[in-house]
């Protein structure tokens, strides 16, 4: 697991907390911020996943020293 995967998951969790807090308090702004944070976290997590898969593929490539 790389830092982008971890940071993305943390950002998603933070966004979910904001979204729920926004729903509970009736704050559309906080709810929207939460949704934006979740989307940003998903993008970063996906980027980290791709980096990890690429690194693993390069390690398992017999032609790559």
The string of pLDDT tens digits covering residues 26-41 is: 999 999 999 999 999 9
Q: What is the pLDDT of residue 23?
A: 97
Is 28 among the domain residues?
A: yes
Is 54 among the domain residues?
A: yes
Q: What is the pLDDT of residue 63?
A: 77
User: Which ranges of the chain have pLDDT less than 50?
Assistant: none
Q: Could you list the residue range(s) of the whole structural domain that residue 9 is in?
A: 3-60
Is 65 among the domain residues?
A: no
Whole-number Å distance between alpha carbons of 42 and 58 = 24
Query: In the chain, where does DSSP find H-type helix?
Result: 3-25, 28-60
Is 24 among the domain residues?
A: yes
Tally of domains within the chain: 1
- Kindly list the distances between the CA atom of residue 37 and the CA atoms of 42, 49, 55, in Å, as whole numbers in the listed order: 9, 18, 27
Tokens matching residue 28: 């559309």
Residues in the chain: 65
């Amino acid at each position: 697991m790389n830092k982008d995967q971890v940071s993305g998951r943390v950002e998603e969790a933070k966004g979910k907390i904001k979204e729920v807090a926004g729903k509970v308090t009736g704050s559309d702004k906080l709810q929207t911020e939460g949704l934006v944070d979740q989307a940003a976290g998903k993008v970063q997590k996906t980027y980290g996943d791709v980096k990890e898969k690429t690194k693993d593929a390069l390690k398992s490539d017999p032609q790559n020293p």
